[in-house]
Amino acid sequence: MNSILLLHDETHVPRTLRAVATEDTLAPQQPDDPLDFRQVVEETDVGICIIQDELLQYVNPKYAQMHGWAAGELVGTDPLRLVPPDARARIREVRQLRNDGLHHAPYASRSLRRDGTVFDTRVFERNIVYRGRTASLTTLSDTSELARVHRVASWRAQMLLSTELLCRSGSIEIVLAHAEVRLSAGARALLQAPPQSSQTPLRHALRCIPREDRAHVLQQWRRAVLGKPFECHHRLLRADGSELRVLHRGTLEMSEGDTRARPVAMLKDITEQASARDRIDRLVNYHPVTGLATRTLLLERTAHAAENALRDRRSLAMLYLRVPDVDRLHTTMGLASADALATSLAARLVATCRSEDTVAHLGGGEFAILLEPALGAEESAALHTATRILATLGAPGTLDRAEFVAEGQIGIALLPRDGVNPAELLDHAHTACGQGGARINFFTREVGESAARRNQLDAALRRAFERNEFTLHYQPQVDLRDGTVVAVEALLRWHSEAFGNVSPAEFVPIAEESGLIVPLGEWVFRTACQQSVAWARAGLPTVRIGVNLSPRQLEQPDISRRLQAVMLETGANPAHLGIEVTESVLMRDLEHARRTLNELSAIGMEISLDDFGTGYSNLSVLRALPFDVLKIDRSLVHDVTASSADVSITRSVLMLAQGLKLKVLAEGVETEGQLNLLISNGCDLMQGYIFSKPLPPAQLEQLLREGTRLPERHLQRGTRQPTLLLVDDEDNVHVSLRRSLRGEGYQIVSARSGPEGLAKLAEHGVDVILSDQHMPGMTGVEFLRHAKALYPDTVRMVLSGHTELQSITDAVNEGTIHKFLTKPWDDDLLRDHVAEAFRRKNLSDENRRLSAEVSNANLELVQANERQQRMLAQQCERLGLEEVRALTAQDLIENLPTASIGIGADGTIVFVNRQARQLLAASPVLVGRDAADALPPDWMSAWHKPDGRHRPGRVGGRSCLLSCSPMDGHGEPRGNLLSVIPMPDYDKEFAA
The enclosing domain of 190 has a CATH number of 3.30.450.20
The residue range of the domain holding 941 is 895-991
Residue pair 658/622 in contact by the 8 Å Cβ criterion: no
The angle subtended at Cα 862 by Cα 856 and Cα 868, nearest 5°, is: 135
> Do 135 and 175 fall within a single domain?
no
> Do 625 and 483 fall within a single domain?
yes
965, β-bridge pairs: 977
CATH number of the domain that residue 366 is part of: 3.30.70.270
Residue pair 302/318 in contact by the 8 Å Cβ criterion: yes
β-pair type (316-322, 402-404): unpaired
β-pair type (243-253, 397-399): unpaired
Residue 459 in domain: no
Which residue ranges of the chain lie beneath pLDDT 50?
1-16, 18-32, 34, 374, 377, 717-718, 989-992
> Do 134 and 196 fall within a single domain?
no
State pLDDT tens for residues 500-524.
898 888 888 888 878 888 999 999 9
State pLDDT tens for residues 116-138.
999 999 999 888 899 889 898 99
- What is the domain count for the chain? 6
pLDDT for 7 equals 44
pLDDT for 859 equals 66
Q: How far from 876 is each of 134, 556, 862, 865, 868, CA to CA, in Å?
A: 126, 28, 21, 16, 12
Residues 6+ apart with CB under 8 A from 416: 309, 310, 315
Q: Which helix (H) or strand (E) holds 60?
A: none
Edge-to-edge order in the sheet of strand 169-175: 199-201, 180-183, 169-175, 262-269, 243-253, 230-237
Residue pair 580/610 in contact by the 8 Å Cβ criterion: yes
Residue 2 in domain: no
Q: How far from 284 is each of 277, 279, 319, CA to CA, in Å?
A: 10, 9, 21
Per the confidence metrics, is the pTM higher than 0.75? no
Residue pair 583/612 in contact by the 8 Å Cβ criterion: yes
Q: What is the distance between the terminal CA atoms of the chain, rounded to a whole angstrom?
A: 115
Q: Residue 72: which of 82, 83, 80, 64 has the closest Cα?
A: 64
> Do 643 and 527 fall within a single domain?
yes
Q: How far from 253 is each of 174, 226, 228, CA to CA, in Å?
A: 11, 6, 9
Q: Residue 764: which of 781, 776, 782, 746 has the closest Cα?
A: 746
Residues 6+ apart with CB under 8 A from 609: 580, 581, 582, 583, 617, 622, 625, 627, 629, 630, 631
> Do 748 and 820 fall within a single domain?
yes
> Do 785 and 811 fall within a single domain?
yes
442, β-bridge pairs: 412
> Do 77 and 220 fall within a single domain?
no
Residue 318 in domain: yes
CATH number of the domain that residue 729 is part of: 3.40.50.2300
Is residue 974 helix, strand or coil? strand
pLDDT for 6 equals 45
Residue 701 in domain: no
> Do 240 and 91 fall within a single domain?
no
> Do 84 and 185 fall within a single domain?
no
How many CA within 13 A on the CB side of residue 379?
7
> Do 243 and 363 fall within a single domain?
no
Residue 505 in domain: no
134, β-bridge pairs: 129
Residue 566 in domain: yes
pLDDT for 383 equals 87
**Residue 579 carries which side chain, given as an amino acid letter?**
I
Is residue 405 helix, strand or coil? coil
pLDDT for 11 equals 42
pLDDT for 611 equals 79
How many CA within 13 A on the CB side of residue 316?
28
Q: Residue 748: which of 759, 760, 730 has the closest Cα?
A: 760
Residue pair 184/170 in contact by the 8 Å Cβ criterion: yes
Phi, psi of 74 (to 5 degrees): -100, -30
pLDDT for 253 equals 85
CATH number of the domain that residue 636 is part of: 3.20.20.450
Is residue 139 helix, strand or coil? strand
Which of 142, 162, 192 is where one domain is finished? 142
Which of 142, 168, 188 is where one domain is finished? 142
CA distance 453 to 802: 66
Residue 776 in domain: yes
Q: Which helix (H) or strand (E) holds 69?
A: none
- Torsion region of 572: left, alpha or beta (phi above 0 gives left; psi -120 to 50 gives alpha): beta
Q: Concatenated DSSP letters for 696-717?
A: -HHHHHHHHHHT----GGGSTT
CA distance 627 to 862: 13
Q: Residue 434: which of 451, 455, 457 has the closest Cα?
A: 451
pLDDT for 295 equals 92
Which of 387, 422, 443 is where one domain is finished? 443
Is residue 513 helix, strand or coil? helix
Residue pair 57/135 in contact by the 8 Å Cβ criterion: yes
Buried b (16+ CB within 10 A) or exposed e, 904-934: eeeeebbbbbebbbebbeeeeebeebebeeb
DSSP secondary structure code for residue 333 in this structure:
H
Q: Residue 915: which of 985, 984, 981, 965 has the closest Cα?
A: 981
Residue 495 in domain: no
- The count of residues in the chain is 992
Q: How far from 772 is each of 174, 267, 795, 803, CA to CA, in Å?
A: 115, 106, 15, 12
CA distance 490 to 468: 17
> Do 257 and 200 fall within a single domain?
yes
DSSP alpha helix (H) spans, 791-936:
805-813, 827-894, 914-919, 931-934
Residues 6+ apart with CB under 8 A from 300: none
Residue pair 50/58 in contact by the 8 Å Cβ criterion: yes
Q: Concatenated DSSP letters for 836-873?
A: HHHHHHHHHHHHHHHHHHHHHHHHHHHHHHHHHHHHHH
pLDDT for 378 equals 64
> Do 660 and 735 fall within a single domain?
no
Q: Residue 938: which of 951, 957, 923, 925 has the closest Cα?
A: 951
568, β-bridge pairs: none
Orientation angle between helical segments 378-394 and 335-352, nearest 10 degrees: 130
Q: What is the largest CA-CA distance in the chain?
A: 188
